[in-house]
Amino acid sequence: MLAMYGRTWAVFLGGILLLQVLQLAVGLDNGLALKPPMGWMSWERFRCLTDCQLYPDECISEKLFSRHADLLVSEGYAAAGYEYVIIDDCWLEKNRDNDTQKLVPDKKRFPSGLNALSDHIHEKGLKFGLYQDYGTNTCAGYPGVIKHMQLDAQTFADWDVDYVKLDGCYANISDMATGYPEFGRLLNETGRPMVYSCSWPAYQEDAGEMPDYESLKKHCNLWRNWDDIDDSLESLMQIMDYFAKNQDRIQPHGGPGHWNDPDMLLLGNYGLSYDQSRLQMAIWAIMAAPLIMSNDLAAVRPEIKDILQNRAVIAVDQDELGIQGRRVLSRNQIEVWQRPITPVAKSGHHSYAVAFVSRRDDGAPYRIPFTVKELGLTNPKGYRVQDLYNARNKLGVFQSESQFITRVNPNGVTFYKFTAL
């Protein structure tokens, strides 16, 4: 009798194990992020400012996030597609609740609790994102999820979270390839759809390991490939170079539901000029990157706001095919980046977004001709060309043998749509 019970029990346990393995194999498949997510996140601009007496408008607090939810709507960003309001690091108490072991938001800085904040964000028609870390601690030293994964996934669902950024500080890099999918499965099991942003490849790349992009595609909606962005042209260029040099192994994996993430937009802060701001926006659109701003939305100058809300550029980023672009050519320190987009001509030829990036600093805007063919565009019927930063600049029709001349400002960009005829 006992032996029979033992067998039944073993079959039962085996069944559960099999189900879990199957779920892991099936992957996230949550139907989310079919286009690169757009929104606003605290980290790049507001870091871990926690002194609300000294910095009442900048500290990581419910006020900062509800103010930015309001600004996303009142300043027109929501209408342009920016949707997620994401709390990055430094929102937690240093300890979990003694009795329940639940995560506790900082009591002084989030006195109303995260449900009240998420309600406010949802009432504005926006979505709520939250940062946590796979390891024992977040990068800034707050408690991480590793020993409480199920409880934390459920707590996120209870707070009506729509987007989770899971960082990878204070963790074993060798555990990440199984641990991140496991947390994704637990998020799924709550029944609440949550976009899942993984940082595991960034940590692997840093340690000289090769991320398994097939697994990432299956288990995460987006992933940070590499280092953090900082507020400078140098940092921006390093990230662009990293993506360009590694494009053969990175680019094919971006697509609807699973995106490469080169990190936040710097626009509206201190480090980028007007031209450099246009440059980041154009290249992020070429890379089908998530468009996550990190700035003080009350302080963005009007000309920078126009770039952030440029509908033609956003449309490239959000193109429904979701094919990530590449750097295809570099001549005289002018780089050509292009991305296949819609509409696709009856002949099967794609339209393209093409960005010319100047890495030059020799003063005058640099004039440079390319044949359209050299840009990788070979539609026999040619292309109608439109300047994405200047709708009034109608450039007409170009054949693949035609010469296309552009003039790029130092450390700047020109950005065009070539619509296949």
Would you tell me which residues interact with ligand GLA (CB under 6 A)?
Answer: 43, 88-89, 131, 138-140, 167, 199, 228
CB of 187 to ligand GLA, least distance (A): 18
Q: Which is nearer to ligand GLA, 44 or 319 (CB)?
A: 44
Which of 413, 367, 404, 414 lies closest to 382 in space, CA to CA?
404
For tokens 């199984």, the residue is 178
Q: Which is nearer to ligand GLA, 88 or 335 (CB)?
A: 88
Q: Which is nearer to ligand GLA, 63 or 165 (CB)?
A: 165
- Strand order in 334-341's β-sheet? 326-331, 334-341, 351-358, 413-420, 383-387, 394-398
CB of 264 to ligand GLA, least distance (A): 8
Q: Which is nearer to ligand GLA, 202 or 413 (CB)?
A: 202
Rounded Cα–Cα distance for residues 378 and 147 (Å): 55
CB of 7 to ligand GLA, least distance (A): 49
Is 167 among the catalytic positions? Answer: yes
162, 167, 263, 317: which one is catalytic?
Answer: 167
Rounded Cα–Cα distance for residues 192 and 183 (Å): 14
CB of 114 to ligand GLA, least distance (A): 18
**Long-range CB contacts for residues 182-189, cutoff 8 Å, separation at least 24:** 182/24, 182/149, 183/134, 183/145, 183/149, 183/153, 184/27, 184/28, 184/219, 184/220, 185/20, 185/23, 185/24, 186/149, 186/150, 186/153, 186/154, 187/153, 187/156, 187/157, 188/23, 188/28, 188/30, 189/153
Q: Which is nearer to ligand GLA, 197 or 411 (CB)?
A: 197
Q: What is the largest CA-CA distance in the chain?
A: 90
Q: Which is nearer to ligand GLA, 139 or 323 (CB)?
A: 139
CB of 269 to ligand GLA, least distance (A): 15
User: Parallel, antiparallel, or unpaired for β 127-133 and 84-87?
Assistant: parallel
Give the residues across from 265 on adjacent strands.
293
Phi, psi torsion values for 396, nearest 5 degrees: 85, -160
Q: Which is nearer to ligand GLA, 189 or 206 (CB)?
A: 206
Residues in the chain: 421
Query: Crossing angle for the helix pair 176-189 and 2-26, nearest 10 degrees?
Result: 100
Q: Which is nearer to ligand GLA, 228 or 296 (CB)?
A: 228
Rounded Cα–Cα distance for residues 394 and 372 (Å): 17
Query: Residue 290: helix, strand or coil by DSSP?
Result: coil
70, 227, 228, 231: which one is catalytic?
Answer: 228
CA 16 to chain centre: 35
CB atoms inside a 10 Å sphere around CB 4: 8
CB of 167 to ligand GLA, least distance (A): 5
Query: Residue 395: helix, strand or coil by DSSP?
Result: strand
Rounded Cα–Cα distance for residues 23 and 25 (Å): 5
CB of 325 to ligand GLA, least distance (A): 23
Report the first-to-last Cα separation within the chain, whole angstroms.
Answer: 77
Residues belonging to the active site? 167, 228
